[in-house]
Amino acid sequence: MIYIIFLLTLALLIVLGLVSTAKGAGPAALKPVQDVLKPVAEPLSAAAGTMGIIAVIWGVWGIITFVVFIQTLGSNTLSALIGLLTNLVLITVGVLAGYPSVAAFFGAPASGAGKFVDWFKSTFAPNEAIVGIVTLVLALWELIEFILNRSGVYI
């Protein structure tokens, strides 16, 4: 089961990170990176809406789980905090990359959740490319940590 959770999280981070980096607004210094990533992200854009909805739901569930089990962290504090960061990034990049689908799913702007999604998009949209880069770096970290953990090295 842990492999399925890992693969789902990694796929969400990579796809949504690529789409956000390639299509999002950001500083002019990221323009060459965006130009390189656009051909890679173009085929993934069709799935970004569905994956955005899944990422938001998955991230909210992860935060709820973190809060409920916070007292059982023990010696895995760094891993738990990286897990919390991953869930926050999943929510952010899910809203940014899959905004039309996520907004429709949560009933924007009529419902309370829809208003929150609209506010979230307007707040983070100017830095969407940076959020995408952070997401890709986090995905690389998750992959390295997963491989090391399976080898018996715990960070």
| Tens digit of each residue's pLDDT (9 = 90 or more) over 98-147 | 888 888 888 877 777 888 888 888 898 899 999 999 999 999 998 998 88
Does residue 25 fall inside a structural domain? yes
Segment 41-64 mean pLDDT: 91
Does residue 128 fall inside a structural domain? yes
Does residue 108 fall inside a structural domain? yes
Domain that holds residue 62: 2-150
Segment 47-60 mean pLDDT: 92
Question: How many separate domains does the chain show?
Answer: 1
Please classify residue 48 by burial: count the beta carbons closer than 10 Å to its beta carbon, then call 0-12 exposed, 13-18 middle and 19+ buried: buried
Does residue 155 fall inside a structural domain? no
Does residue 70 fall inside a structural domain? yes
Q: Comparing 125 with 75, which gets the higher pLDDT?
A: 125
Does residue 126 fall inside a structural domain? yes
Q: What is the pLDDT of residue 74?
A: 67
